[in-house]
Amino acid sequence: MSKGVFFFNFGNKCALRMMVAAYTLRKHYSGNATVCLAEDEYVGEMTEDLGRLGVDVTYFPLKSPCKRNTGYTIKPEIINKTPYDITLAVDTDVVFLTNVDPLIAQIKDSPTLLTQFSNWISSGQRLKKRINSLGDVLPKKQIEEALVAGPAINTGVLGITKGESDEFMKDWIETTYKGKCRFIVDEIACQCMFFRHKTKVLDSVWNCSAVFDDIKKAKILHLHGRKHATTKRPSGRLWWKCTGELIDSGLLKHLDTWMANDKQVGRLKPREWKKIVADSNKEFEGKYE
């Protein structure tokens, strides 16, 4: 059976984060890896640089059902287009800190592998609000079951097996489209249906929150979107260390474009981000190699 890591990227503003994720993946993992790219003006340049990082590329036509939050709405559908029999599907705003082969090895026994968001649970106040937000499109009984389902699910890292996970994926896609165009609808939809299927939920070391978890325990660090470049948290400074390594590697032909397109990084002058990288290297010297 084929197996591999599968990302998808929506928009060139996230390209730098995607390149850092691919770079850190390749530091630890030599197996198959593919990024699914949406149609974009920079798709050729992205393809070229991902190839230089040893990552394959596939594409999907962008037929957006939304004016906003398209990425969240189409995410399950894109994950379902994986080229692998066993897939570790990962968001592109992550940093890999270890080899993911042991994680991939667990997927076939799950058959759908999910990860918990920090130590949050479905009955917590924030999750209650999110689950209830789909009360206008889902049956009352399903909402009630979701509220007592247990762990809070984050869809930034998950594993699926073709055939074995088909019903889960079908349900996830349909539930997501019922709430289409809402913020993080993929995650809320998953929270509202995962308990109806055979799944295994791992704790957050394999999907470590940059905000709510201790990154010293992280195996995969999840930066939660635009929190990647902050210097206020250790997680952001660690991202800068990895970004500095990627810059120094000289692997990317279009690095300047990705840095300029990133809202957080693009506003910094070279002397500013170089100082951040230098300080981050000192802070994490000898760590996270």
Token pair 């206008």: residue = 136
* H or E, element range at 153: strand 151-161
Q: 165 is written with which tokens?
A: 């996970």
Q: Tell me the per-residue pLDDT of 145-204, one tens digit each, with 9 for 90 and over.
A: 999 999 999 999 999 999 999 999 999 999 999 999 999 999 999 999 999 999 999 999
Residue tagged 């029999």 (tokens): 85
Q: What is the set of domains in the chain, with CATH numbers?
A: 3-99+106-209 (3.90.550.10), 227-283 (no CATH)
Confidence band for 38, pLDDT divided at 50, 70 and 90: confident
Q: Is the pLDDT of residue 288 over 90?
A: no
Place of tokens 């974009």: 40
DSSP count for the chain of H helices, then E strands: 12, 10
More confident residue, 176 or 70: 176
Whether 94 and 18 have beta carbons less than 8 Å apart is answered as no
| pLDDT, tens only, 190-249 | 999 999 999 999 999 999 999 999 999 999 999 987 778 899 999 999 999 999 999 999
Mean pLDDT over each residue of the chain, to the nearest integer: 94
What is the pTM (predicted TM-score) of this model? 0.95
Query: What are the phi and psi torsion angles at 87 (to 5°)?
Result: -125, 130
